[in-house]
Amino acid sequence: MPTTCTTGRLDTPVTTLVFDLARGVAELVYAGAPLPAAESLQPLASAQQRALHECEPDEPIPRSILPFAHTGYAGEPLLEVHRAGRLLALGPQPVSVTQIDDGLLFATHDTENSLHVDSRWLARSSGVVTIEQTVTVLESLRGSLQLQRFASLVLPLPRWVYRLTSYAGRWSAEMSQRRSVLAESPGLSGVTRGGRSGFAAGQWLIFESEECSEQAGWCIGIHLAWSGDHEWRIDTDHNGDAVLWIGGRWQAGEVELAGGSTFRAPGVVFAVGTAGRASLRQQLHNHVRDQVLPQTFRTAPRKVHLNTWEACGFDLSMPRLLQLAAQAAALGVERFVLDDGWFAERRNDRSSLGDWQPSKAVFPQGLTPLIDEVQRLGMDFGLWIEPEMVSPDSALYRQHPDWCIALPSLPQATQRNQLVLDLSRPEVREHLFDCLDTLLRRHAISALKWDHNRELFPLAHRSLAQTQGVYALLDRLRDAHPQVEIESCASGGGRVDYAILSRCSRFWASDNNDPKERLRINRSWLQFLPLRSCGNHVGPDPNPITGCAWSMDFRAKVALFGHMGIEADPAQMSAEDREVLAAHVALYKRWRTVLHDGALYELPSQDPGIFGWQAMLESRGLVLVTQTGFAQHFEAEPVRFVALLPERFYRVRLPKPWPEKASRYLASPQAWDADVELSGAALMQAGIALPLRHPGCAWLIEVEMV
């Protein structure tokens, strides 16, 4: 039963949250480093309260996680409910709190309007807190209510929050970091309208103290685990108090609740870092590895991919694919992924989506001969699909034109020459499951690249239902084929979130494989997502999107820090480039356990062109340091390591191949051919000097405790 406690406490291994319920609401009065078990909570809560000042309601406005307007709160309310077109005035009863397994359950209800709200805050072993909120309409209600908006989280921000880091972008330029000082940036907000989490990436937010850096200061990470449209905004009042509102977004009238029904808002992940962004990153990475990714793929080695798209495009033939498979195996590739163009009459992007049978022109004997040869070469086989879409020029559309999301009597607008199937309809999901299940049962397919190349327009009141339909299809497919890995791709990073990753094993960070661009894009993704989940491939030269040309050494070293793959034609590479690439594939295999299971740290630099990462697992670590620009000075600052034991000694190596041009400027190359031993203190404080003056230069550094 709910308690009458005036405080609530929630502890994770690295964080304590304290709530004050003395005024009948739930106020988050502390979120930070762990407090002593004997901490007296009521004095702590009382010490945060403020006295009245002029021009304020007679009772101070509470900073509630479940806010309603009747308290004088003027920000975005927790929920907005209509009945027969009229906005209801909600006046719920005092909030109660119940201690539940691993968390707290806050509850409040509005007897007048037959509404009940639950908010579950659950502590996870990784250190994060997950938040799940539901609204229930009581059985006593006659008729129905329309839920217009319902927050997944309303968070009154601590006063130490100084700035917000949010993200925006577009196709091939995802996750551009934006920093805003809250006091100087009124009206901060974000919204998506394309029916997916989108390139705007607004469901990833970081709030920082003024002094926050990689390894110092406080920060809060927020993620809305939802693959559909969403919105967020920050309201700041005249007291300087800022409040975050974040939740899913749907069209008016889309959510109608009858008596006895419950609506669950998309979940939120909340984490507090008290030792800089690195401490926040470790919590989020551990959460994804331990509790988000499908269990089968949380520890399995991440195989090196070769994807056929950049090598072949739609120009597929058995001789060409067999040749490509042999070339891939020679490089050390472990998975051969056949991309778009393998099915029906698909010779370009204008037909055949929805007709998921192998092309008789390309594969007269089906996919089996190709798969058999791929397996004979020591690789497994992956396949590209785009099951949520349909081409108007397809057998499926001609048979079921009514299966598309559309508005009656209006023209059906296409994007990439395709329409969207209505996955809110059970018969559509059943058909798609049958098609995919048949493919997977008939063929030895180890992985699916699941693409989503079109925004949803019109939404036609399907924003929520379409996303839920995708989840239902993926869940059923995973239950039937738990060993099949699924990659989430949406023209690159257009649908990346914890909810989709709970059904997939990795995400495609961007269609842009230019290593300079990927360093920037991945820097943002890797604040929230571990290297294990991030597809990162060696692209062709010159890059087809940016037109830039980069050495194979640079492309391969950048791709190694992630789930490595190749998206290029080995036949177009020189023998020297193939040798360099094969050497890096071998390095990746040797270090992937450290990369994918270790802690990831960013190595800051005063040079804006330098990117540095250190992955550390127990006594071993691998460092990547790159220069993307033309340095202002001849000599870069030394590379200084982190997270080492100062008193212990470490063996340091520069694994070959070295970057050709930069290695000419390496002091004492003979010394680096052997092992160099230095203390952790020396490596962290003095570091090692490496030439990093030219664009497209990258070094790998191995470090291992002696």
Is the predicted pLDDT of residue 494 greater than 90, yes or no? Answer: yes
pLDDT in tens, 164-184: 999 999 999 999 999 999 999
Q: Do strands 485-488 and 447-450 pair parallel, antiparallel, or not at all (unpaired)?
A: parallel
Is the predicted pLDDT of residue 255 greater than 70, yes or no? Answer: yes
Q: For helices 552-560 and 515-525, what crossing angle results, to 10°? A: 10
Q: What share of the chain is helix, strand, coil (3-state, %, to 5)?
A: 25, 30, 45
Measure the CA dihedral 585/312/316/359, to 10°: 80
674 contact partners, CB below 8 Å, separation of at least 6: none
CATH number listed for the domain at residues 296-508: 3.20.20.70
**Token reading at 678:** 């230095």
Residues 540, 577: contact at Cβ < 8 Å? no
Task: Please provide residue 584's backbone torsions phi and psi, each rounded to the nearest 5 degrees.
Answer: -75, -35
Q: Indicate the length of the chain as a whole number.
A: 706
pLDDT in tens, 501-550: 999 999 999 999 999 999 999 999 999 999 999 999 999 999 999 999 99
Q: Where does residue 561 fall: left (phi above 0), alpha (psi -120 to 50 degrees), or beta otherwise?
A: beta
Residues 560, 581: contact at Cβ < 8 Å? no
CATH number listed for the domain at residues 610-705: 2.60.40.1180
pLDDT in tens, 93-128: 899 999 999 999 999 999 899 999 999 999 999 999
User: How would residue 60 be classed by pLDDT, with cut points 50, 70 and 90?
Assistant: confident
Indicate the domain borders of the chain. Answer: 7-46+60-292, 296-508, 610-705
**In Å, how far are 77, 80, 110, 259 from 89, measured between CA atoms?**
11, 9, 10, 18
pLDDT of 4 reads 59
pTM: 0.96
User: How would residue 214 be classed by pLDDT, with cut points 50, 70 and 90?
Assistant: very high
DSSP string of 413-428?
Answer: --BTTBEEB-TTSHHH
pLDDT of 92 reads 83
pLDDT of 68 reads 87
Instruction: Tell me which of 223-232, 535-544, 672-681 is least confident.
Output: 672-681
pLDDT of 140 reads 86
DSSP letter, residue 390? E
Is the predicted pLDDT of residue 483 greater than 60, yes or no? Answer: yes
pLDDT in tens, 633-675: 888 999 999 999 999 999 999 999 999 999 999 998 988 888 8
pLDDT (mean) for 586-596: 98
Q: What angle do CA 316, 321, 322 make, to 5 degrees?
A: 150
Identity (one letter) of the amino acid at 381? F
Residues 208, 162: contact at Cβ < 8 Å? yes
Q: Do strands 305-307 and 563-566 pair parallel, antiparallel, or not at all (unpaired)?
A: parallel
519 contact partners, CB below 8 Å, separation of at least 6: 558, 611, 626, 628
CATH number listed for the domain at residues 7-46+60-292: 2.70.98.60
pLDDT of 51 reads 77
Is the predicted pLDDT of residue 186 greater than 90, yes or no? Answer: no
Is the predicted pLDDT of residue 1 greater than 50, yes or no? Answer: no
pLDDT in tens, 557-571: 999 999 999 999 999
pLDDT of 7 reads 93
User: How would residue 398 be classed by pLDDT, with cut points 50, 70 and 90?
Assistant: very high
pLDDT (mean) for 555-584: 98
User: How would residue 2 be classed by pLDDT, with cut points 50, 70 and 90?
Assistant: very low
CB atoms < 10 A from the CB of 136, how many? 18
